[in-house]
Amino acid sequence: MDEVNKLIEENWPDLLKVLQQVMQVPSVKGKPELNAPYGIEPRRVVDLVLDLGKSYGFKTGIVNNAVGYVQWGEDEDYIGVLGHLDVVPAGNGWDFPPFDLSEKDGRFYGRGILDNKGPIMSCFYALKLLKDAGFKPQKTIRIMFGTDEESGMSDIPQYLAKEKPPVFGFTPDCKYPVVYGERGIVNIQIQTNFKEEELLVLGEFVGDQARDHVPAELMVTVGQNKITVTGKRSPSNAPELGVNAITLLAEKLVTQSDLSESLQHYFAWVTKALKEQHYGEGLNLALADEDSGKLILTPVILQKNSEGLSLEIAFRYPVSSTQEEVVAGVLKQVPKNSTVNIVRSLPGIRHKKDSPEIEKLSAIYAKVTGNDSRPVTTTGATYARKIPNILAFGPSFPGQKGIAHNANEYMDVSDLKMNLEIYLRSIQALLSK
């Protein structure tokens, strides 16, 4: 056991104590309050972390009440490690208290253990361990704590309005190895109009619908009949791991004789074009490239409105494709009387795979894990899209997918410990000349 592993083992209980305090704050976005633009709980958790930073002897600050930071060093140029302390709502189906740190059979459970309190607090604690061990940084570093990552990342423009971006850094909010590119994301809303009398027999769609995940439960009334479906929730960038309630419901509605022929045809189109057609096959939009693989799509929100039906589909397209290609392809396939609107747009990003910083992080990952360290791309959307010179690095290891945002969000004890080692060695390397 070398000095780094010894340091981790000696301080592991204290890290868990600190992490539990942070996870016990239910930092879901709430209504804006004074000095708390994203609600009381996100502000409370960032204040808790900054108080810890002060007690460890670091400089601390909060920018526009949106992004907190712990800083070591005084240079204007700095290395940045950027994570977030806000979390998605707990939802249902937990076997453990969602806002706590629980351990069972070598696995930690709790909202945020993976996304993203566990990883960013590992980075923060790694900095403390380096400081306590007498390491002398040759560069300045900020560990940065966002509070609105899960709801649009509006915290980052607030930060950049007052602060310079880092000269380089990473966000521990994705996967390993180093993520040099992130796919483009576009959410397209298809509005399909129907006659008023056709819509009278159809009720409102009620259930579990949001952009971040495959909907699992949905209900609608047709005349006097209540039709309910239950699928399986998964992240919207991993639809193959879930069962989409929208397409399950559409399949049932095709056979409802109380619906007009036009509405039946519409739900038949939804079923044929989107049910289990995760990679664009049903829309003749099977884009792919060597770097990032296949396009992925997920229907996420189906709603009735005064004009007809609105269906939102989330697309994640390869780094070599364009948003214009995706929109043009959808326009060729939509039902009659439909219009298309873009309701979310995040262009893809790519860094140079052979940059010295990426090579440095890749070497550390390979040394600690023994895994293939060639840089990869992701379907996810991280802070790397919003702030210059940042790329994603961890915390999920190859093969781990679809854990965040679900009930019983988890992270293996051994994985959290390995993350702490990777991040400690990475920060040490980045702060050395």
Tens digit of pLDDT at every position of the chain (433 positions): 589 999 999 999 999 999 999 999 999 999 999 999 999 999 999 999 999 999 999 999 999 999 999 999 999 999 999 999 999 999 999 999 999 999 999 999 999 999 999 999 999 999 999 999 999 999 999 999 999 999 989 999 999 999 999 999 999 999 999 999 999 999 999 999 999 999 999 999 999 899 989 999 999 999 999 999 999 999 898 999 999 999 999 999 999 999 999 999 999 999 999 999 999 999 999 999 887 889 999 999 999 999 999 999 999 999 889 999 999 999 999 999 999 999 999 888 889 888 999 999 999 999 999 999 999 998 888 999 999 999 999 999 998 987 898 999 999 999 999 999 999 999 999 999 8
Domain with CATH 3.40.630.10 in the chain: 3-182+351-430
What topology does CATH give the domain 3-182+351-430?
Aminopeptidase (3.40.630)
Which pTM does this prediction carry? 0.80
CB–CB of 289/321 below 8 Å? yes
**pLDDT for the residue 1:** 59
Pick the CATH number of 184-346 from 3.40.50.300, 3.40.30.10, 3.30.70.360, 3.40.50.1000: 3.30.70.360
What distance in Å separates the CA atoms of residue 189 and residue 142, rounded to the nearest whole number?
Answer: 39
Output the CA torsion sign for 40, 45, 49, 51. Answer: positive
% of the chain beyond a pLDDT of 90:
91
Domain with CATH 3.30.70.360 in the chain: 184-346
Burial 9-27 (b: 16+ CB within 10 A, else e): eebeeebbebbeebbebbb
